[in-house]
Amino acid sequence: MTQIRSVVLGCGSYLPEQVVTNAQLAARIDTSDEWIVQRTGIRERHIAGEGEFTSHLAIKAAQAALTDAGLDAQSIDLIVLATSTPDNTFPATAVAVQHALGINHGAAFDLQAVCSGFVFALATADNFLRTGAFKRALVIGAETFSRILDWTDRGTCVLFGDGAGAVVLEAQEQPGKAATDRGIVTTHLRSDGRHKAKLFVDGGPSSTQTVGHLRMEGREVFKHAVGMITDVIVDAFEATGLNADSIDWFVPHQANKRIIDASAHKLHIAPEKVVLTVDRHGNTSAASIPLALSAARKDGRIKRGDMVLMEAMGGGFTWGSAMVRW
């Protein structure tokens, strides 16, 4: 029995020009390159320039994805933009992207699931495409986390960076076999609000009428991360009948190299299958997975027919997985 799947047609990304190294941070706060690398694997991160907004990053990533797909923007009828750092409280940053691309049909909206945002957005677009409500979607993860950091807090400001990544999805009829179909094969999403205090921003329009700053209990987040991540990946394996050996590439949320290494080890995923960009990008929240996808596409690692496993965990807590045959 055939099945409609959301097939990836193109992938693109954008990083701000400004690069901030660990050494530059060490000149401003009580930290060191050795301390940051040992605990996180991060060596540098990109920071948006003055007047450079989340929408600007998202537009450039979307344009790159459309170019990679060889498509005109007018063929897009759905935009789902994952971000925790929108340009405005409203309207959605997605409509700014839609306007910049010259699209005035279909639908565009933001989705907020923090670092899990891209996986949540991918699952949302996939469900719309599979029902026939839309034909082609831009799924974007874009963040300017530098705008919500307390730059005196060495426990958080060294971790995050800015950037954007995007994919173009198209609804296509496939044979209906999880092991061989192209497109999104399965997605699994979770959340648990009991953990809010472990990772949150201490401000918002309703509560403080301010933007606020990111606050995190690092050890608590680390403690929960590996278990939650592996939980939704095991669900993906059970749903498809696949296993770690079936995976060509593991593209995790780029938050911390120690979490990534521990997750891959627990799942028996070979180190050479893991795509790592955290050293160059830092944690770019919802942008981290599409940035990593784009990097692995550009250097030739991810090829058509490859099975790609993605996972993420973010504030809330939210967490999720997606399995896609390229």
Percent of the chain with pLDDT over 90: 99
> Is residue 321 very low, low, confident or very high in pLDDT (cuts 50, 70, 90)?
very high
Q: Decide if pLDDT at 302 tops 90.
A: yes
Dihedral sign computed on CA atoms, order 228, 212, 121, 131:
positive
- Helix ranges (H only) for 179-287 are 218-240, 257-266, 278-281
Q: What is the pLDDT of residues 107-157, one digit of tens each?
A: 999 999 999 999 999 999 999 999 999 999 999 999 999 999 999 999 999
Q: What is the pLDDT of residues 4-58, one digit of tens each?
A: 999 999 999 999 999 999 999 999 999 999 999 999 999 999 999 999 999 999 9
Instruction: Choose, from 56, 253, 256, 281, the residue flagged as catalytic.
Output: 253
- The answer to whether residue 283 is catalytic is yes
Give the mean pLDDT of 223-248.
95
CB 289 within 8 A of CB 141: yes
Give the mean pLDDT of 50-71.
98
Those residues with Cβ within 8 angstroms of residue 37's Cβ, 6 or more apart along the chain or in another chain: 22, 43
* Alpha-carbon gap, residue 40 to 43, rounded angstroms: 9
- The answer to whether residue 11 is catalytic is no
What crossing angle do the helices spanning 54-69 and 288-298 adopt, rounded to 10°?
40
Give the mean pLDDT of 77-89.
98
Give the mean pLDDT of 196-204.
97
Give kind and range of the element (H or E) at residue 296. Answer: helix 288-298
Classify domain 183-325 at the CATH class level.
alpha beta
- The answer to whether residue 46 is catalytic is no
pLDDT at residue 178, rounded to an integer: 87
pLDDT at residue 122, rounded to an integer: 98
pLDDT at residue 1, rounded to an integer: 87
Q: Whole-number mean pLDDT of the chain?
A: 97
pTM, 2 dp? 0.98
CB 113 within 8 A of CB 314: yes
Give the mean pLDDT of 274-295.
98
pLDDT at residue 239, rounded to an integer: 96
* Alpha-carbon gap, residue 25 to 3, rounded angstroms: 51
Q: 3-state DSSP call for residue 58? A: helix
- C-alpha dihedral, 45 to 50 to 56 to 57, nearest 10°: 0
The total of other beta-carbon atoms located within 10 Å of residue 203's CB is 16
The total of other beta-carbon atoms located within 10 Å of residue 299's CB is 9
Q: Could you state, in order of their start, the residue ranges of all structural domains in the chain?
A: 3-174, 183-325
Examine domains 3-174 and 183-325 and report if their fold is the same: yes
CATH 3.40.47.10 fits 3-174, yes or no: yes
Instruction: Choose, from 11, 22, 56, 115, the residue flagged as catalytic.
Output: 115
Give the mean pLDDT of 311-325.
98
CB 6 within 8 A of CB 183: yes
pLDDT at residue 174, rounded to an integer: 97
* Alpha-carbon gap, residue 155 to 153, rounded angstroms: 5
